Amino acid sequence: MAAAGASLFRGAKVDWIYSEDRLSHPPSMKLARSSRAAQGQVPATLEVERVWRREAVGHIQTVSSSLKIPVSVAAHAAILLHRFYMEQSFLEFRKFYVATCCLLIAMKLSPEAKVSHMARAKDILRTSLRRTGMDVKDDSPHFQFHLDELLYCERALLATFGFNVDAEVPQALIPKYVNAMGLTKENGFTKGNELIINAVRIANSVGGSTLCLEYPAPTIACAMIQSAVTQMAIELPHSSSGKPWYETVTVTLRDKAGMKDQLGAILLRAKDFMKSEQLHLDSQAPTAASSRRSGGSSSSNTPVRPKRPASERRQSLRKRSRDA
């Protein structure tokens, strides 16, 4: 992956696959260390940064479910969020706005989008605020403030990506691959739909991980299908050429060499992530119960006015765009 900089802002085509070293040193850790004395920030460890990613993706999935947004759109939003925080810091851009903004952009690119951009922004923002316990009327100054912050965040995200917001989504590839293998009722395979549902479910469950920054979407899609096959205790039909099933469907895969090892590595990472996710949820359960009893909400998920003046942040964004 090319280093972040002017080439990124110009919209240069990149594959968004990061090295292990880059993944271990995201911008949030650097900014936290450099700004701690000036702003009183607590340094973000890698573990904390990964928790923030999980929480942000969880927000996307919850809001998407509430609005009945397609799974593939929510997955696209999650990928955008992971990419954004490899170039920007959680401490500079609050995850509530970034998650909501990523969902807005993914919806805008979706063929299912049938309403205006502003109406969609208000709908997504309204649902996002309610999830944090804030029921704000659309015509209130408070709602307008959050809408302004959301639209500012959208401009920052587009500037960071150089308007390159397309992404291959494993959840969208899974049905294509299963159908490409002929796993349909017409061909005598009765569990094709079940296989798709389980593979997509597994892909959603690891959406908070950084797999999308480590492997191409076709490879992840194949790994999710393989995981579903294992869970369902079924066997996929062998191809007439004798090739592994994943080579018959990933015709656009750039690196077929070592594909078996890659699938194994992804499945192992997915298993470890789901285990750590469950431990995280278990550790948060007492806190969540206490918050519900007190009528409060987690401050980390609640949208607030950034410390930095909006005018200053907008000037910074304009300067960044001119430098590009």
Q: What is the pLDDT of residue 309?
A: 47
Q: What is the pLDDT of residues 218-272, one digit of tens each?
A: 889 988 998 898 888 888 776 666 666 776 665 444 444 455 566 777 777 777 7
Residue with the two structure tokens 């952009």: 105
Q: What is the pLDDT of residue 101?
A: 93
Whether pLDDT at 85 is above 70: yes
pTM over 0.95: no
Whether pLDDT at 5 is above 50: no
91-105, 159-173, 184-198: the lowest-pLDDT one: 184-198
Q: What is the pLDDT of residues 109-118, one digit of tens each?
A: 887 665 566 6
Using H for helix, E for strand and C for coil, what is the string for 149-211?
HHHHHHHHHHHHHCCCCCCCCHHHHHHHHHHHCCCCHHHCCCCHHHHHHHHHHHHHHCCCCCH
Q: What is the pLDDT of residue 72?
A: 93
Cα 297-282-72 angle, rounded to 5 deg = 75
